[in-house]
Amino acid sequence: MNQLSREEYSQSQKMMIFILAMSLFGLANLFTELLPEFVLGPVEISVSYLAFIPLSLVMLFHPLYAAVGASVGEIIFGDLLLGDFGGLGELEGFIEFTLAMYIAGLLVTNLRSKKQVGIAAIVGIGIDQMLSTIVDVGKVWVGIEEVEAVPGLPESILAIEGLSFVTEMIISGVIFGLIPTLYLIPRLYGKIEPLLGIKPREGRVKASMTEWMSVRFVILAIFLTFMGMVAEFMAEMDINFAVWEPEFLEQFGDGFIWLPISAAAIVFIVAVFTAIKWLGASSNQDKKGKSA
Amino acid sequence: MELVNRFKKTYNLEWVKLELLKTAFGKKDSYMGRKDPRLVMVWYFIVSLLPWFTFNQTILIGLLVYTIVTSLVSRVSPLIIGLLTIGVISEIIYIVALVYLFGGEWAAFSSLITFTMKITIMSIASIAAFASMDPEKLSDALLSFGVPAQFSFAVSYGYRMLPILLDEYQQIILSFRLRGKAPTNGGVLKWRTIYYYSKIVVKAFYPMMLNTAKKTRTTVEALEVKGFSYSLHDKEAKKQKLSHLKLSNQDYTFLVMSIGILLAIYFLGKYYPI
């Protein structure tokens, strides 16, 4: 890595992509945060995000930095600046969304192909919605103790979640995701990159497959996703314990509940530390590569 | 339709902009806002995790009252309180409807209520802790807990750029509206009007993206001139940035008081369980 080839991104270009994605998606989030929702029975019709912004950025630039930037923008503009910072709950959304957008960006090899862009856009939103649906169903499953006991309840929950998945896919996925992305990508491609001093992307960025999709990264991503779900489930675990195994509880006392929760907490902390260490290591590498 | 008219009246862009600026830049001199942000952060984690270790409804009610009082003391903006109230009420209605529909007994209802209470405590705690806190203070606290420095930079950047970005977006939308023509006949459910505005909202992002890209480059170049990406990884720079975080007497009082109140709630729950 003695000289920067043109396909590689320098430290400041990564920073530019990060800031660009952050400001744009943040702004869009401010906007959607204030749009009203129309609730029809259990189904709500709302624009949950303007997905075309992160989608097109992720396709035009380095997917990882654009995806992380967009998620950070959502947290900062949509929540933190509005005084609506959710603390622990933000973590789940951050992981889901970053992962989904990153994958969407990796899928595209040819930005001129409408088919590819369209598929990537739909897959990206699909992954995000699917992950959140799984977490939601899991939450209800674990959170309400008598799901099986009440006739018809499991079916109705599945129906409600499925319906909201479909409406989300139509509104956020197609109307504010797919169609605007197909409109914007041909217009922005080759125009926005020079403004950041970046060569327009052709194919996958060179030497990227091994760099981005390293085994370590995939494992870390899956692990973090899993931890996001555990963190979510951890929250609901207690009711399930209280109702399913009351004798068990009496035998061991309330203290027993600490066991799974602290175990989950320990695993979680280890995961976070690994992630921070890994991020630190990779950024050091970047620095070395740049200064060398 | 009446709903759409109301929507158009209240949700014009100027109103949205003012409301946002008010929330983001409002006076942060509140009870929680004056505390050391690290302490507030720890307080939030403890208060939002505590409910998950108990099934005692007295303790939960105590915690709920405690967090509500704290959020009232720190004068949270009514917009946020309103949003939360709507959320909680719809959650309760949803629960009652579910239980009623499936002919559930009181036990199911009660455990659902317990569940809702836990979730509510968590969100009120986050509101009490973070709503009235200066975002930059919060990001400093996160930085001292080891969150990457990029995040705290992003907060400072967002905090300063928000009005500029909003202004620019509004300008673009207004010029689109000047050049376009809103449909006179809205059609069924005003779908033509909705379609028209949605299209503008999306299209306005095209010039917005290009402008922001230009601005971003200027910003990053200016930052790099000052050695920004080196300072991100420099321990000395971080130490200097965080040197203003100090625990004061006020913080100690808060610490002792919170521990006292939490213990009192737990004793109350132990001796007078519902």
Q: Between chains, do A24 and B212 touch, taking CB under 8 Å as contact?
A: yes
What pLDDT sits at residue B204? Answer: 92
Mean pLDDT across chain A, nearest whole number? 71
Q: Between chains, do A19 and B169 touch, taking CB under 8 Å as contact?
A: no
ipTM: 0.75
H or E stretch including B147?
none
Global pTM? 0.73
Q: Between chains, do A85 and B126 touch, taking CB under 8 Å as contact?
A: yes
Q: Does position A241 have pLDDT exceeding 70, yes or no?
A: no
Q: Between chains, do B20 and A30 touch, taking CB under 8 Å as contact?
A: yes
What pLDDT sits at residue A290? Answer: 38
Sign of CA dihedral B49, B53, B55, B60: negative
What pLDDT sits at residue A140? Answer: 63
What pLDDT sits at residue A276? Answer: 60
Q: Does position A118 have pLDDT exceeding 60, yes or no?
A: yes
Cα(A208)–Cα(A221) distance, rounded to whole angstroms?
17
Q: By the CB < 8 Å criterion, does B195 face chain A?
A: no
Q: The tokens of B158 are what?
A: 């967002």
Cα(A88)–Cα(A94) distance, rounded to whole angstroms?
11
Cα(B30)–Cα(B145) distance, rounded to whole angstroms?
23
pLDDT in tens, B69-93: 888 887 666 666 677 777 777 767 7
Cα-Cα end-to-end distance for chain B? 48
The answer to whether B110 and A145 have CB atoms below 8 angstroms apart is no
Phi-psi region at A205: left, alpha or beta (left = phi > 0; alpha = psi -120 to 50): beta
- Sketch the domain layout of chain B as residue ranges: 1-29+135-243, 31-133+246-274
What pLDDT sits at residue A3? Answer: 46
Q: Work out the pLDDT band at B68, boundaries 50, 70, 90.
A: confident
Q: Does position A246 have pLDDT exceeding 90, yes or no?
A: no
Query: What value does the mean pLDDT take over residues A245-272?
Result: 50
Q: By the CB < 8 Å criterion, does B113 face chain A?
A: no
Rounded to a whole number of angstroms, the distance from the CA of A210 to the nearest CA of chain B is: 25
Q: Work out the pLDDT band at A228, boundaries 50, 70, 90.
A: low
Determine what percent of chain B is predicted with pLDDT higher than 90.
Answer: 14
Q: By the CB < 8 Å criterion, does B202 face chain A?
A: yes
**CATH number listed for the domain at residues A1-207:** 1.10.1760.20
Residue from A18, A34, A80, A261 whose CB has the most chain B CBs within 10 Å, to mutate: A80
Q: Does position B256 have pLDDT exceeding 50, yes or no?
A: yes
Q: Does position B99 have pLDDT exceeding 70, yes or no?
A: no
In DSSP notation, A4-55 reads --TTS--HHHHHHHHHHHHHHHHHHHHHHHHS--EEETTEEE-----THHHH
Q: Between chains, do B209 and A34 touch, taking CB under 8 Å as contact?
A: no
Cα(B71)–Cα(A188) distance, rounded to whole angstroms?
45
Query: What value does the mean pLDDT take over residues B6-30?
Result: 65
Which value, to the nearest 10 degrees, does the dihedral of the CA atoms of residues A197, A199, A204, A210 take?
A: -60
Q: By the CB < 8 Å criterion, does B231 face chain A?
A: no
The answer to whether A18 and A283 have CB atoms below 8 angstroms apart is no
pLDDT in tens, A137-194: 776 665 555 555 555 566 666 777 788 888 889 988 899 999 999 999 999 998 999 9
